Amino acid sequence: MSFDHKAFEFDWQAFSAEMLPWLKDALAANDGKRLAAFVDANIVACRSPYDGEQLSASWQEMLETGGAQEIADFALTKYYNPTLDHGLGGAWAELEDALPVSMKIALLGQAIPHFDPGRQGSYFSTPTDATKSGALLNRMEIPALRQYGNFLERAAGDGRGVYVTF
């Protein structure tokens, strides 16, 4: 399994209005049915989190385990495009080590309780948080960190947040 830092522009406003209010409860209860109903209701907007392909009515045949975490991974694609990765890839761990402890959160964002479909970490930044993180990273002299900081600021400038996963 790869441990690559993947980062995507994310429609935080729509997510926080539509899915976030009930996501934590659905995951805590392992309620895959509610999540699957969400995907079915939004099938045109959802994609495969693995290859970014548009989902069809038989999307559940793609599931490996069919658990709530995996279904949530598919549901979340309503808010981002899985083919547009702006993350740091495999270099993230070395780059994270170059940061002071107080700045490490700038590479990730905040976790949502119970949400971790890949079991390696999933994090979110609101547009405001992405702006702050981008400004912090742009102070660094490391080109890859500055490039990522620029991505965060561009996403926030477009009114979008960021979703980071491994």
Quote the tokens at residue 126: 């609101």
Cβ atoms of 88 and 7 within 8 Å: the answer is yes
Give the confidence band of 61 by pLDDT, cuts at 50, 70, 90.
very high
The helix/strand/coil state of 124 is: strand
What type of residue sits at position 130? A
Averaged pLDDT, 93-100: 89
pTM: 0.93
Cβ atoms of 115 and 129 within 8 Å: the answer is no
Give the C-alpha separation, 22 to 78, whole Å.
15
What pLDDT shows up at residue 120?
79
Averaged pLDDT, 43-65: 95
Give the C-alpha separation, 54 to 41, whole Å.
14
Residues 101-130: pLDDT tens digits?
A: 878 899 999 999 889 887 778 999 999 999
Give the C-alpha separation, 166 to 157, whole Å.
24
Residues 126-135: pLDDT tens digits?
A: 999 999 999 9
What pLDDT shows up at residue 1?
45
End-to-end C-alpha distance for the chain, whole angstroms: 9
